[in-house]
Amino acid sequence: MTTAPEAPELHRGVRVGGWSWVWRPWTVLVTVVLAALTFLIFCVSIAVGDFTIELPAVFRTLIGQGERVDEFVVMDLRMPRALIGVIAGVALGISGALTQSIARNALASPDVLGITGGASATAVFVVTAGGGSAIGSAFGLSTAALTGGLLTGLLVYFMAWKKGIDGFRLILIGVSVSAVMQALTTWLLVLADIRDVARAQRWLVGSLDSRSWTEVWASVWIMAVLVVVVLVVAFQMQPMHFGDDVAAGLGVRYSAVRAVLLLCAVLLAGVAVSAAGPVPFVALVAPQIAMRLVRSPVPPVIASGLFGAVLLIGSDLIARTVLPNDLPVGVVTAIIGGPFLLYLLVRSNLRRAA
């Protein structure tokens, strides 16, 4: 045993008053860059449209110093769409990070937990059975989808509960419920009138079209509350990556922590689905990419949220500008997310073979 070791610089602390954290410059840098990128794409997304507003004019308008004309276009026409994109992206990213951390499985995501499947089935049911125009105003559809998604998520959650939540059990039950929901969706689409099918399909791929401020504000507030809860409780989640026994040994009441965070994940995914439809792959891919950018062994919550936003509004921007005939955002995120999922799967195959 060595005495008086020359303490190697392992973890430097930052201290602000009575508050202190481990100083991780790379994590902070990546997070700040992602935040800046989110804001930039947000602004560009507002600038681009039927006619272009210069970026500086967008900035001026955002801080309330813009011209009247710009103000109307920016604040009333384009801002809701861009903002709902950011909210849905952040919600999906964080929801994915939580799900993957809790299940200790890179392939877990709210899609697997049945939230997306439940929302889709409900939305399609409303569109096809509700005779289209009667119930099917955009707001009614979102609310119905949100309710369906949450109920399915909670159903999976309670079925997976067996003296606490076990990762594998959760995923198995989630996959089963999702499969049932998917079958239900397909069945409804087969039976439905062809015009309703077109509308349902449009919703099913996810889209940021025609958003109102009412929807935006509702989402903003729910999101804000959930993010605060997640950030506070996530500190307790850190030892849980080492297994339940270690977490318990370190004084964490893991069952309670897991229950709260999983509930937050379900609600966040619900917010995203009601805001933007079942946008695929963002929740799965964002935490995995954020992990690699931050060089963290576990999904980083904040960076995952920010990358989710970048991916979602970035895809929306690409869909509206680069690609022809205004594709819905879900198609683009799937085009980016699908290959990445394959890359993850193939890579873990190769590693096992090595």
Partner 1 sequence: MTALRNDAARLGAEGVTVGYADRVVLDNLDVAIPTGVITTVIGPNGCGKSTLLRTLSRLLKPRQGTVLLDGGDIARLKTKDVAKRMGLLPQTPIAPEGLTVADLVARGRHPHQSWVRQWSSDDADVVAKALHMTGVADLAHRPVDSLSGGQRQRVWISMTLAQGTDLLLLDEPTTYLDLAHAIDVIDLVDDLHEGGCTIVMVLHDLNLAVRYSDNLIVMKSGSIVAQGHPSQVITSELLLDTFGLQAKVIDDPVSERPLIVPIGRTHVVSKSDQEPS
Q: Which residues contact partner 1 (rule: CB under 8 A)?
A: 1-2, 5, 7-8, 10-11, 13-14, 18-22, 104, 232, 235, 238-239, 241-243, 245-246, 248-253, 295, 297-298
List Cα–Cα distances, 85 to 4, 251, 305, in angstroms. Answer: 55, 39, 12
Identify which of residues 249 and 339 has a Cβ nearer to partner 1 in the complex. Answer: 249
Identify which of residues 70 and 244 has a Cβ nearer to partner 1 in the complex. Answer: 244
CB of 272 to partner 1, least distance (A): 26
Identify which of residues 13 and 25 has a Cβ nearer to partner 1 in the complex. Answer: 13
CB of 94 to partner 1, least distance (A): 17
Identify which of residues 251 and 324 has a Cβ nearer to partner 1 in the complex. Answer: 251
Query: What's the rounded Cα separation, in Å, for the pair 15 and 322?
Result: 46
CB of 348 to partner 1, least distance (A): 10
**Cα 314 from chain centre:** 14
Identify which of residues 195 and 295 has a Cβ nearer to partner 1 in the complex. Answer: 295
List the one residue out of 248, 294, 235 whose CA is nearest residue 20.
235
Crossing angle for the helix pair 79-103 and 254-276, nearest 10 degrees?
150
- 46: its two tokens: 């507002």
Residue keyed to tokens 């506070």: 232
CB of 288 to partner 1, least distance (A): 12
Query: What's the rounded Cα separation, in Å, for the pair 226 and 265?
Result: 9
CB of 104 to partner 1, least distance (A): 7
List the one residue out of 307, 291, 289 whose CA is nearest residue 299.
291
**Cα 14 from chain centre:** 30
CB of 252 to partner 1, least distance (A): 7
Are the C-beta atoms of 314 and 285 separated by less than 8 Å? Answer: no
Crossing angle for the helix pair 115-129 and 167-191, nearest 10 degrees?
20
Identify which of residues 218 and 294 has a Cβ nearer to partner 1 in the complex. Answer: 294
Query: What's the rounded Cα separation, in Å, for the pair 205 and 53?
Result: 29
Are the C-beta atoms of 267 and 226 separated by less than 8 Å? Answer: yes
Identify which of residues 23 and 187 has a Cβ nearer to partner 1 in the complex. Answer: 23
CB of 215 to partner 1, least distance (A): 32
